[in-house]
Amino acid sequence: MSISRAQFLKSFGASVAGLAAGSGIASAAQALANKVATATPATAALPPVAGATPAAPVHFIGSGSGFGNRIAISFDDGPTPGVTEVVLDELKKRNIRSTFFMIGKRVVAAPDLAKRVLAEGHEVCNHTFNHLKLNSLPDQQVDWEIQKTQDTIGEVLNQKPAWLRPPYGAFRKNQMGIPVSKDLGVVFWSVDPRDWSQPGEAKIVDTILTETKPGSIILCHDLHKQTANCIGQVLDGLLARDFEFINMSEFLGQPFASRVA
């Protein structure tokens, strides 16, 4: 069963890392799916997924601790040539660290841009290979989408992601064992300007500046030029309120540090 974005934000807006949420999230991002072609192997050829159902309670994370006025700003769906570079330039001007949830096939298409993201001090995380709604897929295909992206980012950047953000926020609790088996935490967001829908630069800026508070995880997309064009204004507005920007693993910690140490 899916829950609405409004229900998700209500549940998570003031939460701290580790609070449990409901099952999937029904996002309005349907139009974005058409922008990413699929390249998934036939599920019949995939082996059963061991540990697909976790043995212990698991948690979806929607926000972090507001200690020290900290926030995390993140960018999904890249790397996108012509857009990601602009976002990186604006972050670099202000010495801000962010987190980029990358689509595996876009890393394959733009490896040098993905390398630049990492080289400039940002965290790179998993946003699956084909940007599909995972809550509608069989476990074998979900496993492939996540693992293929882990492998791709590992090969290109020589570093494995610690966090997964399911596309559209569409994920079921009973799928959580799949990322857990790969030492991946699952993280969502608490501020969503819906910039993927290109609502206008002023709307993007207003939503983020109005809704952000200590502990917020801000969802943006390095996908369209509207976001790139106004991200400097967003960052300046947040800096004026003395927010401290940190990447996801600094904000939330390593989800399975004891297992990967």
Whether residue 98 contacts residue 122, with contact meaning beta carbons closer than 8 Å, is answered with yes
DSSP conformational letter for 176 = T
The token pair at 175 is 């799928």
Residue of 76, 77, 195, 222 marked catalytic: 76
127 is catalytic: no
Residue of 77, 195, 221, 222 marked catalytic: 221
The token pair at 187 is 């993280």
Q: For residue 125, which of 172, 180, 165, 80 has the smallest C-alpha distance?
A: 165
The CB density around residue 54, as the number of other CB atoms within 10 Å, is: 16
**97/106 Cα distance (integer angstroms):** 21
183 is catalytic: no
In three-state secondary structure terms, 100 is: strand
Mind telling me the catalytic residues? 76, 221
